[in-house]
Structure 1
């Protein structure tokens, strides 16, 4: 039972078609409670991911750090559903699934499955909410595993972690994006970040069943992992290059949201969420990886696009004037802006400034998103937002931004659907 929704999912009778049906490259799924309990070996069920209903003792979100503390079951405090995995206790929160609520009612609080919009975790309900929002197809990032599977990378038992990743990927392909989704949900899979060879094998396993996107960290060293300037990731990157698998990096996929101080309120980080994407993109452009792996593509989810032109301008100047002492002359042989045009995609849902500077970004390098069911989501008015922002653009330009570029990048059918194998 949903509490206080402000918008109901009702079929739209508006027949306007000024904005093409949207293909969102950044939505989210809240995993149903049984994803891992149904798929892990019995010996792991008591330590693998499972849902426990318990009270909240305390919870803070400051300086980009989220710190919840679970209370004793049966004790005092707001009741929520918690993912429990090894020693990790992670609650479902209103920020995980905020659509349908007035902006001023969205607070950092624990919730249960009954208190979230059903489309967050249920395929038929999700398709209905997509219909309301003029969305044809959507690629969804995870919630409990976090945006690139950090939960399993940080776990103690990597044998169990690998099983959890494979279980998630099987659920993603076979159920979330299975027959009932009718090609409208596009799979995004995870890899074991702690082992590039295992990661390559998982990319190939999923590519064989039609998956063309894999989640990765925007700044791996923040997770204690090698940077993209090393050769450590080459087996994984080679697998992506060979299979046409897009490396998808969501803000927060380095487990460290940008902030300015330990006591900065979330509004500070929310304003500068693009910063890690910016740093990451410069890393990739100066890494030489795009020249070593010519078919490699990367995309930045929820990073917006208005910041890109200056960074490309600055990167070109540095490459032109300072590459000799800057450590890139022997591996970056083309201007970074040219590499960007061939390999990098920016994703946005609300960026009027970026849309006024498409020529400096590149029309072919821009993708659209709705961020359902997060608090930033434009649901259920993504069409209206898109029409307002893109009303000054030619129809063929809007077509590419809203769906055409996604169809090409993710190898969807001409109709904009995922066809699996």
Structure 2
């Protein structure tokens, strides 16, 4: 390989600074909007795909953590939120404070420095406290306040996290009010006007108590994305439940099959008819890896062809699902040697690279070395497309891989 291109990571994460909502919500909401409280951690489990922490009262025994408090929600910062810089053996399910995490998790200058160490040019970052598609605000009792919180997050994302101090190296990814597709469409258009080209969405909305994409309920949102060129980004776990097999399965089971939700979701989209209705729509699956894609496409094509009479999609899916995939769907990976050996069956143009900073699975600070080892058999122009070229085209970045806000 001549040289490994500077990486454009389409799946990193930000740990929101403590003041995001206090700084942006009206003062009357400061005591009820999202805020950080330092308190003991009584216990915390992550079994069967469910995360269950219990907050202690002041003076209780237990390790101290910083907690996000919002309505009835008490959610601690955890080592799994920000594990880079720690030995693999030291990464445990435990609560932490801001002082115990790597500053690049929440600080723009330190993030850019860590990107430099990792050969990363630019990065798209998913949220932490709002969860991967804003479930925190969707589940809130007060949706009026939830909408204010969501818009405050989007403003912080665009104006501060991806603001002037980021020098175009951080790419904005915004949230929508999932409880109202018309409001969601307005938020997509509001952010598109300032140059945002990616929005979070749930991989399997019915798991959040929301309509499926087989209905027409989401059409205002989908139309807004289609017309503005806004990519729908779905992260594993954005249905609020990681894949698992039983209520007592250890986290290792779910970690092995994290791609499963992406698999279910992609088949949903391919069989929904939405790509026929919205021909410019693009979707991407963050942290889902890519090795599973060839078989699913093969199977979907067989079902589409052979089960036309009773499959329920003949009148709305007018082309083989594999053709729709090639035009509309992107798989994202950070460590998938098998997928790269089967790239021809996926499509060079449908693959994006990521580093997953600062999570426990992250390849930081060796994302370049991992990429070189796994892509060494590929031509230089193919590596260029996977590592940066496809992301530039999809997200409307400059030729240098930078994000530029829309002109006022």
The TM-score with structure 1 as length reference comes to 0.96
SS in 1 for 2:310: helix
Q: Is contact 2:49–2:241 with CA below 8 Å preserved after alignment? A: yes
Is 1:230 aligned with 2:215? Answer: yes
Alpha-carbon distance in 2 for matches of 1:136, 1:38: 29
Partner of 1:393: 378
Alpha-carbon distance in 2 for matches of 1:74, 1:183: 45
Partner of 1:8: none
Is 1:357 aligned with 2:342? Answer: yes
Return structure 1 stretches of 4+ with deviation > 3 angstroms: none
Residue ranges of structure 1 left out of the alignment (5+ in a row): 1-15
The structural deviation recorded for 1:397 is 0.3
Partner of 1:5: none
Is 1:253 aligned with 2:238? Answer: yes
The count of corresponding residues between Structure 1 and Structure 2 is 406
Partner of 2:285: 300
Is 1:134 aligned with 2:127? Answer: no
Alpha-carbon distance in 2 for matches of 1:299, 1:140: 14
Partner residue of 1:181 out of 166, 186, 191: 166
Cα shift readout 1:275-316 (whole Å, capped 9, x = no counterpart)? 000000000000000000000000000000000000000000
Partner of 1:242: 227
The TM-score with structure 2 as length reference comes to 0.99
Partner of 2:387: 402
Residue ranges of structure 2 left out of the alignment (5+ in a row): none
Partner of 2:99: 114
Cα shift readout 1:141-195 (whole Å, capped 9, x = no counterpart)? 0000000000000000000000000000000000000000000000000000000
SS in 1 for 2:332: strand
SS in 1 for 2:309: helix
Is 1:44 aligned with 2:29? Answer: yes
Partner of 2:177: 192
Partner of 2:263: 278
The structural deviation recorded for 1:45 is 1.1
Partner residue of 2:88 out of 90, 94, 103: 103
The structural deviation recorded for 1:122 is 0.1
Is 1:20 aligned with 2:17? Answer: no
Tell me the C-alpha RMSD between the 2 structures.
0.7
Is 1:86 aligned with 2:71? Answer: yes
Partner of 1:323: 308
Q: Is contact 2:172–2:196 with CA below 8 Å preserved after alignment? A: yes
Is 1:202 aligned with 2:187? Answer: yes
Q: Is contact 2:2–2:380 with CA below 8 Å preserved after alignment? A: no
Alpha-carbon distance in 2 for matches of 1:411, 1:28: 20
The structural deviation recorded for 1:74 is 2.3
Alpha-carbon distance in 1 for matches of 2:354, 2:2: 18
